[in-house]
Amino acid sequence: MRHLTATHWGVYEVEAGAGGAPALRPFAGDPAPSPIGLDALGEEVARLRVRRPAARRGWLEGTGGRRGDDDFVEIGWDEALDRVAAALARVRAAHGNEAIFGGSYGWSSAGRFHHAQSQVHRFLNAIGGYVRSVDTYSLGAARVLMPHIVAPMEELMVSHTSWDVIADHTKLFVCFGGIPAKNAQVSSGGAMEHRIPGALRRAAEAGVRFVNVSPVRDDIDTGGPVEWIPIRPNTDAALLLALAHTIHADGRHDRDFLARCCAGFERFVPYLTGAADGQPKDAAWAAAITEVPAERIVALAREMASTRTMLNASWSLQRAEHGEQPYWALVTLASMLGQIGLPGGGFGVGYGATNLMGSPNARFGGPTLNQGRNAVRAFIPVARIADMLLNPGAPFEYNGGRHAYPDIRLIYWAGGNPFHHHQDLHRLAEAWQRPQTIIVHEQFWTATARRADIVLPATTSLERDDIGFANGERHLIAMKRAVPPAGEARDDFAIFAALAQRLGAAAAYTENRSEADWLRAIYDDSRVRAKQAGIELPAFDDFWRAGIATVGARNARPVMLEAFRGDPAAHPLKTPSGRIEIFSERIAGFGAADCPGHAAWLDKVEWLGGAAARRFPLHLLSDQPSTRLHSQLDHSAHSRAGKVAGRQPITLNPADAAARGIGPGDTVRVFNDRGACLAGAVVSDAVRRGVVRLSTGAWFDPAPADDPAGPERSGNPNVLTRDAGSSRLAQGCSAQSCLVEVEAWRGPAPAPRVYDPPRFAARSS
Ligand SMILES: Nc1nc2c(c(=O)[nH]1)N[C@H]1C(S)=C(S)[C@@H](COP(=O)(O)OP(=O)(O)OC[C@H]3O[C@@H](n4cnc5c(=O)[nH]c(N)nc54)[C@H](O)[C@@H]3O)O[C@H]1N2
Ligand SMILES: Nc1nc2c(c(=O)[nH]1)N[C@H]1C(S)=C(S)[C@@H](COP(=O)(O)OP(=O)(O)OC[C@H]3O[C@@H](n4cnc5c(=O)[nH]c(N)nc54)[C@H](O)[C@@H]3O)O[C@H]1N2
Ligand SMILES: [Mo]
């Protein structure tokens, strides 16, 4: 029997394979299916499952020990649930719910009911609340900046001009950071029809000229020629300012658009021309910062002003120190070009970052689990977790406000992997020793599971019923259980229901509904919202029987900000002026020197033009991995096939490799003052000189306690990245601002150990 299952990286068909065991096949309805999930039922994946509840011995026996070094002891479910409930009750009684950190950031799985982050938030709300995290690692700087100057990121993301409009109208498409089809493999909830490879090909065939401004060449593939402008990382704001300078100096800025649709242009001009600070932001100035020749900058600006031009910034640009600035500069330049709201012109913020941007499909609010109300007000910007744990009570700034870090005694994590996603992991490992109790639900023995006090085994999507839905996709998927749970794994929902029962909150958490009741309820809610948006979804039973529901493609061809451009008074933006804010009084009023009132180039701690580059002369890009989603399925055959000698590949330019005596396939040590890791060398001129690329997601595998100075062994870039906010405005993750050195590793190299299942200790008492 065939059913469908949804993952973030695509829909798969579950069929009987050899010997009758279920096997996964690509979804026939997908024009470019992703291989990421095909091995999800493989032996390599199964051997790392968490099969029984397990407790850290020092925590279980009250003898201390260190998270990360200690043994685990397997225990029964009843004891595990009793101990977790008791730990929660103890912390609430002694310190209140303000001492529980339940941010639990992470992508978890695609199904919308068993969405672990929603489940853990709903559970913690049912028992009195928790300290939450705001924003995302994806879009820390942009999510805070963009609502002040144009519109919330969520709104922009779902309203990008569609790819068919681009093919018909765009003449010049300038992307900053490519349009990586590797990233568009995924969409939160399930990329069901992978559109980007075909869309790029059709646009190129229709005559769109693509220019890629990026430290790497291979983050776009249109099947045709693409001009590559190999910019220094983190300097896009300077280039964008110089493009704006040229357009202004030529008098080709669109005065009508600036007057009708924008606010504060006249307050930005003195900075642009240098009247304010003596430094014109001209092409010669930017050439020294960006290493893009001044003539190319001037010529590109003139091309932009004379033809229908789309500008796009990858999300990576804002995951950096002062990551707000390239986004603000992009919007500023697009406003000066005056093509915002015209078919094929204006700007995009993340074409290619996931499958969503540029989708033509109808929009409606899909099924989601209501998380309830949080009675605790304290929060942190998501990437400030180590600061919070290390500095309880310390002040921090965020979006114009002053706040204090809460004093956390208990961490609850389900559906995320902080020892994947956070920066400066050695610092996080220290901060992680502070709380009394750390509880983790996991499917696999990840680095985070290995640093918990108690790990509760969670089922995978293939082991439970759920509904797959993602913004901008054409289908809802009835995800039917395909295999029995591994070992004693339970659904997150079942685990929380049992805990809520012990804590007297069962009714608040479950509303006396079973899994089946919930699936029907969240589908029916969504069906009402769909109807309001003019979309007819089948009744739940028909949907479940058919296994899929298809939402018709809408006929309209979306153009971002079209209505606003047509009549800004009738369709004002949600900014203070109702218009695009080239100067923001509000942000200027926050008084943060690292995010002034208009787009600016600001010097950085770690970039190739700064003093730090004398010791660490290579800029590390830790981009998203092509062979997996973050750390998920890193142990699968597909991800492993992408490794070099068992480690994450690092790509070096031939000149940088030769200068260090490094050849393809060599094991190298990548290091800076924060840490070191081993990686496998790939030598390619697809990365510019001075830049190395080490994609994220190799499982964190630090040297053992008996070799404290040894390097991390699987190639995890987050032992190197800097743990600092993008600015006092947004406090976003700034992983892309990181300098390193690389050297050949001579002699035998320690093999990664993290892909071996843990060995369990016996209980001493
Ligand atoms: N250096 C650097 N670091 C980065 C980035 C970067 O560009 N550079 N990117 C950042 C970005 S944008 C992001 S979004 C983050 C991603 O960081 P995360 O979202 O934390 O990474 P994942 O590996 O997807 O972690 C999800 C975890 O949830 C588990 N899981 C899946 N389904 C379930 C479930 O149903 N129940 C339970 N209990 N667990 C489940 C998986 O096994 C996995 O361990 O990383 C960030 N880190
Ligand atoms: N296969 C796969 N796809 C994914 C993910 C995954 O883990 N695996 N993660 C998903 C998630 S959670 C997110 S948030 C998105 C992230 O999407 P992005 O943040 O856009 O992804 P990255 O791969 O980090 O970067 C995109 C490109 O930007 C380039 N770049 C980096 N720094 C600079 C710079 O300073 N200037 C310029 N001009 N270019 C630069 C990089 O070299 C890279 O080629 O991806 C999503 N897609
Ligand atoms: Mo992300």
283, containing H or E segment: helix 283-290
- pLDDT at residue 549 is higher than 70: yes
Helix (H) or strand (E) holding 669: strand 667-672
Nearest Cα to 160, choosing from 355, 443, 447, 303?
A: 355
Q: How confident is the model at residue 17 (pLDDT cuts 50, 70, 90)?
A: confident
Query: Catalytic annotation on 509?
Result: no
Residue-level pLDDT at 20: 80
Question: What pLDDT score does 107 carry?
Answer: 97
Q: Which of 36, 109, 183, 355 to mutate to test the pocket of ligand 2 (most atoms within 8 A of CB)?
A: 183
Distance, in Å, from the CA atom of 105 to the CA atom of 116, rounded to the nearest integer, reads 10
Please, which pLDDT band fits residue 594 given cuts at 50, 70 and 90? Answer: very high
Element holding 411 (H helix, E strand) = strand 410-414
Inside any domain, residue 647? yes
Alpha carbons 145 and 313: distance in angstroms, whole number: 14
pLDDT band at 764, cuts 50/70/90? confident
Q: Which amino acid is residue 305, in one-letter code?
A: A
Spatial separation of the C-alpha atoms in residues 702 and 367, rounded to whole Å: 40
523 counts as catalytic: no
Ligand 1 pocket check: which of 630, 692, 722, 737 to mutate, most ligand atoms within 8 Å of Cβ?
Answer: 630
φ, ψ of residue 90 to 5 degrees: the values are -60, -50
| Residue 151 counted as domain residue | yes
pLDDT for the residue 19: 81
78 Cβ contact list (under 8 Å, min separation 6): none
Please enumerate in sequence order all residues whose Cβ is within 8 A of that of 72, keeping only pairs 6 or more positions apart, or say none. 54, 55, 56, 57, 455, 758, 760, 761
Q: What is the CATH number of the domain that holds 32?
A: 3.40.50.740
Total domain count, the chain: 3
Q: Give the integer Cα–Cα distance in Å for 685 and 653.
A: 5
Q: State residue 705's pLDDT score.
A: 83
For residue 500, give the 3-state DSSP assignment.
helix
With beta carbons less than 8 A apart as the criterion, state whether 66 and 503 touch: no
Do 179 and 130 share a structural domain?
no
Does residue 551 lie within any of the structural domains? Answer: no
What is the C-alpha to C-alpha distance for residues 254 and 341, in angstroms, rounded to an integer? 13
Q: How far apart are CA 670 and CA 692, in angstroms?
A: 10
Pocket test for ligand 2, best of 196, 314, 315 (most atoms within 8 A of CB): 314
Give me 332's structure tokens: 């500023």
Locate the ligand 2 atom nearest the alpha carbon of residue 176 and give its number.
38
For the stretch 147-165, pLDDT in tens is: 999 999 999 999 999 999 9
Nearest CA to ligand 1 atom 39: 415
Residue listed under structure tokens 């919930």:
518
Q: How far apart are CA 452 and CA 436, in angstroms?
A: 11
Cα–Cα dist 703/709, whole Å: 7
The DSSP 8-state label assigned to residue 750 in this structure reads P
The CATH number assigned to the domain holding 266 equals 3.40.228.10
Assigned domain for 707 exists: yes
Residue type, 567: D
Residues having CB closer than 6 A to ligand 2 are: 138, 176-178, 180, 182-183, 185-186, 213-216, 219, 231, 233-234, 236, 314-317, 319, 353-354, 621, 623-626, 629-630, 736
Instruction: Give the containing element (helix H, strand E) for 167.
Output: helix 163-169
The first and second tokens of residue 410, run together, are: 């208990």
Asked if the model's pLDDT at residue 441 lies above 70, the reply is yes
3-state per-residue secondary structure call for 10-59:
EEEEEEECHHHCEEEEECCCCCCCCCCCCCCCCHHHHCCECCCCEEEHHH
Token pair listed for 588 = 């200027």
pLDDT of amino acid 16: 83
Residue whose Cα lies nearest atom 16 of ligand 1: it is 421
Over 60: is that where the pLDDT of 603 sits? yes
Q: Residue 547: inside a domain, yes or no?
A: no
How many angstroms does the Cα of residue 353 sit away from the middle of ligand 2? 6
Confidence at residue 376, expressed as pLDDT on a 0 to 100 scale: 98
Ligand 3 mean position to 109 CA, how many Å? 14
CB 369, CB 118: distance < 8 Å? yes
Per-residue pLDDT at 1 exceeds 90: no
Helix 324-337 and helix 265-273, axial crossing angle in degrees, nearest 10: 110
Say whether both 199 and 341 belong to one domain. Answer: yes
What dihedral do alpha carbons 266, 272, 276, 278 form, nearest 10°? -160
What is the pLDDT at residue 632? 98
Do residues 204 and 305 both lie within one domain? yes
DSSP H or E segment with residue 5:
strand 3-7
126 and 158, same structural domain? no
Q: Are residues 287 and 312 in the same domain?
A: yes
Note the ligand closest to the C-alpha atom of 10.
2
The confidence score (pLDDT) of residue 554 equals 64
Return d(Cα 347, Cα 173) in angstroms, integer.
10
Range of the domain at 50: 3-135+368-468+481-512
Residue 315 burial by Cβ neighbours in a 10 Å radius (0-12, 13-18, 19+): buried
Confidence at residue 10, expressed as pLDDT on a 0 to 100 scale: 97
In this prediction, residue 243 has a pLDDT band, given cuts at 50, 70 and 90, of: very high
Q: What percent of the chain has pLDDT over 90?
A: 96
Q: Is 629 helix (H, G, I), strand (E, B) or coil?
A: strand
Ligand 3 centroid, distance to 190 Cα (angstroms): 14
* pLDDT tens per residue across span 505-543: 999 999 999 999 999 999 999 999 999 988 999 999 999
Confidence of residue 556 (pLDDT cuts 50, 70, 90): confident
Which of the four pLDDT bands, split at 50, 70 and 90, describes residue 553? low
Residues 356, 378, single domain; the answer is no
pLDDT value for 707:
85
pLDDT tier for residue 18 given thresholds of 50, 70 and 90: confident
Domain match, 179 and 94 both: no
Q: Is the pLDDT of residue 134 over 80?
A: yes
- Looking at residue 60, what is its pLDDT? 97
**Which pLDDT score is estimated for 79?**
98
Indicate whether 706 pLDDT > 90: no
Please give the Cα distance from 278 to 760 (Å, whole number). 66
- Rounded Cα gap, residues 639 and 627, in angstroms: 5
Q: Which of 105, 137, 228, 601 is catalytic?
A: 105
Residue 519 lies in a domain: no
Q: Are residues 116 and 181 in the same domain?
A: no
The answer as to whether 197 is a domain residue is yes
| pLDDT recorded at residue 649 | 98
> Average pLDDT of 33-56?
97
What pLDDT is stored for residue 765 in this prediction? 62
Q: Are residues 585 and 728 in the same domain?
A: no
Considering the chain, what is the average pLDDT of its residues? 97
Find out whether 370 and 509 touch, Cβ atoms under 8 Å. no
> Which ligand 2 atom minimizes the distance to the CA of 314?
20
Q: What is the CATH number of the domain that holds 615?
A: 2.40.40.20
What is the tens place of the pLDDT at every residue in 81-91?
999 999 999 99
Tell whether 92 is covered by a domain: yes
**How many percent of the chain have pLDDT more than 70?**
99
Same structural domain, 145 and 12: no
Whether residue 581 has its Cβ less than 6 Å from ligand 1: no
- C-beta of 57 in contact with ligand 1 (< 6 A): no
Largest interatomic CA distance in the chain: 81
Tokens at residue 616, please?
Answer: 């660490």
Pairing of strands 618-621, 691-694: parallel
Together in a domain, 115 and 255: no
Kindly state the tokens that stand for 460.
């995978």
From 9, 107, 413, 445, the catalytic residue = 107
For the segment 44-67, the average pLDDT, to the nearest whole number, is: 96
Angle, CA 446 vertex, CA 461 and CA 623 arms, to 5°: 90
Same-domain pairing of 616 and 669: yes
Note the Cα 180 to chain centre separation in Å: 14
For residue 335, the SS3 value is helix
Q: Report pTM.
A: 0.98
Q: Is the dihedral of CA 720, 723, 727, 732 positive or negative?
A: positive
